[in-house]
Amino acid sequence: MSEERDSAALLDGPRGGAAVRAAQEVEAGRAVVVHGCADGGGVVFAAARADVELTAFAVRCSSGFLCVALSGERCDDLVLPPMSPRTGHRGPTACVTVDASAGVSTGISAADRARTARLLAAPHTAPEDFTRPGHVVPVAVGDAVGDPALLAEAAFALVGLSGLAPAAVYAHLVSPVDPTRMATDDELEAFAVSEGLASAPADGIAALRSATWDAATAG
């Protein structure tokens, strides 16, 4: 009961409100910043809305390692096996990397990776629409958001809340002041302000997802 009260309080507060705004921004096709994750935060946008500008921005402010969070079922449907066995593993699982099999050149450009991301989100994409290995990393996530959440889980939940296809592009943000390390939460929030992006904490996203899920099942 106390956990339910804590979740409700979080949802009603500014952190929950930030999650709502971030979901709205994602739905509109814009990037947002997610912070407060167990593995560091970063830039997130909907794979269905991936374009050259969004993808280039994510590459520029990150290490360039772009991932797309998908459900485990979606990864299975697209024949995207894990890079390593799942034995004893819990949490998000990196799968074999992919490129779109048509309409791309080397696969690594922002335009090529945006196309690959959109294909991962498209409902009628088939396994043969990809070549393996490639330059985009599909990451299989479960239904539950961990506590504390990893960026893959928070990104997947946020895009799901936006109402778009449940596929989230994400990239961990490099520190703007020290390129040898990843950004801290304070740096992530400051980066969002400097770039005019909405930002949301992982726990606010988890609370909003839980409330939305509860409302859907109750109905």
Instruction: Show the tokens assigned to 111.
Output: 């335009």
**By percentage, how much of the chain surpasses pLDDT 90?**
79
With vertex at residue 63, the alpha carbon angle to CA 160 and CA 54, rounded to the nearest 5 degrees, is: 45
Whether the CA torsion 127, 131, 132, 133 is positive or negative: it is negative
* pLDDT, tens digit only, all 219 positions of the chain: 344 444 454 455 556 789 999 999 999 999 999 999 999 999 999 999 999 999 999 999 999 999 999 999 999 999 999 998 765 567 899 999 999 999 999 999 999 999 999 999 999 999 999 999 999 999 999 876 767 789 999 999 999 999 999 999 999 999 999 999 999 999 999 999 999 999 999 999 999 988 876 444 444
Which residues have C-beta within 8 Å of that of residue 26, sequence separation ≥ 6?
32, 44, 45, 46, 49, 158, 159, 161, 162, 164
Q: Tell me: the pLDDT tens digits for 159-178?
A: 999 999 999 999 999 999 99
Instruction: Show the tokens assigned to 195.
Output: 């770039």
